[in-house]
Amino acid sequence: MPEGPSIVILREAVHSFTGKKVISAKGNTKNIDFTQLEGTKIIAFKSWGKHFLIRFPKFTIRIHLLLFGTYRINERKDSPARLSLTFAKGEELNFYTCSVTRIDQPLDEVYDWSADVMNEQWDSKSALSKLKKQPAALICDALLDQHIFAGVGNIIKNEVLFRTHIHPESKAGKIPLAKLKQLVNETVIYSFQFLEWKKEFTLKKHWLAHTKKICPRDHIPFKKSYSGITRRRSFYCEVCQKLYR
DNA sequence: TGGAATGTTGGAAC
DNA sequence: CGTTCCAACATTCC
């Protein structure tokens, strides 16, 4: 469910609820006071990386779907909702097994919009300079660093590294600048490609590396390892993905 | 059927 | 006190 592009799909799916008044708020989250939502209007829906943000006049509700989070629009699951918002005419938004928190500061103080790969304010140069400040970091870790690439998850990581021919355990500081620029650019391109394929329900079909056993370029077995400090699984080809070290 | 997975956090350990 | 590391959370799929 929850890499950045999937959160964009969620944001687009609930867009018509903008401006609507919450009639009642319920759920099993212990982090928020439901009564403060009731009777207030949603000003806007936003997202930052994997964070889904519901703006109310005086505060924001942040929803993070983590690994297993789901939602339903004008429908319910059998399991209890973490947060359930109901509106006039029986309309409702339901969120399950997610993290729900309240943000009281202005969002511009909380979020660096230029770090969100899906945001129009995304800034490749900024990402590049952050990478340069962490020369010892493995690139598989850097790609998952939400301060640099907010919204990138393990699927995007594996796909982008394969597409740019970079070994996941390469050191950020050892990758030539031109190659690093290519990586940053490809991360954004693939994230939007992910968005389109996800909307078409053809995302998995287009995976070249993630969960794959054979390299489609060299037709030899992929390596699978739990690499970096993040210890997330990496799928890569030792022949066509260069290790910079 | 048990184990692993598109992820993050809080607190223990040092 | 700062940093690091790992258990915990919880659902779905194979």
pLDDT in tens, A174-189: 999 999 999 999 999 9
* Residue A41 CB-half CA count within 13 A: 6
The first and second tokens of residue A97, run together, are 């097994």
Q: Cβ within 7 Å of strand B: which of A 95-134?
A: 99
When pLDDT is averaged across residues A19-31 and rounded to a whole number, the result is 94
When pLDDT is averaged across residues A7-35 and rounded to a whole number, the result is 95
When pLDDT is averaged across residues A214-226 and rounded to a whole number, the result is 94
Q: Percentage helix, strand, coil, to 5, in chain A?
A: 35, 25, 45
* A2 CB contact with strand B at below 7 Å: yes
Please name the nucleotide lying closest to A153, CA to C1': B6
Note the CA–C1' distance, A171 to B12, in angstroms.
30
Q: Cβ within 7 Å of strand C: which of A 150-189?
A: none
Q: What percentage of chain A carries pLDDT values higher than 70?
A: 100
Bridge partner residues of A92 (DSSP): A86
Whole-number pLDDT of residue A61: 96
Model pTM above 0.75? yes
* A67 CB contact with strand C at below 7 Å: yes
Whole-number pLDDT of residue A62: 95
The span from the first CA to the last CA of chain A, in angstroms, equals 34
In one-letter notation, the amino acid at residue A191 is S
Whole-number pLDDT of residue A94: 96
Whole-number pLDDT of residue A30: 86
Burial A192-220 (b: 16+ CB within 10 A, else e): ebbbebbeeeebeeebebbebeebeeeee
Note the CA–C1' distance, A166 to B7, in angstroms.
24
Note the CA–C1' distance, A214 to C2, in angstroms.
44
Instruction: Compute the distance between CA of residue A53 and CA of residue A158 in angstroms, rounded to an integer.
Output: 27
When pLDDT is averaged across residues A141-161 and rounded to a whole number, the result is 95
Please write the tens of the pLDDT for every residue from A63-103: 999 999 999 999 999 999 999 999 999 999 999 999 999 99
Which amino acid residue lies closest to nucleotide C5, measuring CA to C1'?
A229
Q: Write out which nucleotides of chain B lie closer than 7 A to a protein Cβ.
A: 4-9
DSSP A1-14: --SHHHHHHHHHHT
Whole-number pLDDT of residue A1: 64
Q: Is the C-alpha dihedral spanning A143, A149, A155, A156 positive or negative?
A: negative
pLDDT at A2 over 90: no
* A204 CB contact with strand C at below 7 Å: no
Note the CA–C1' distance, A175 to B2, in angstroms.
40
When pLDDT is averaged across residues A123-139 and rounded to a whole number, the result is 94
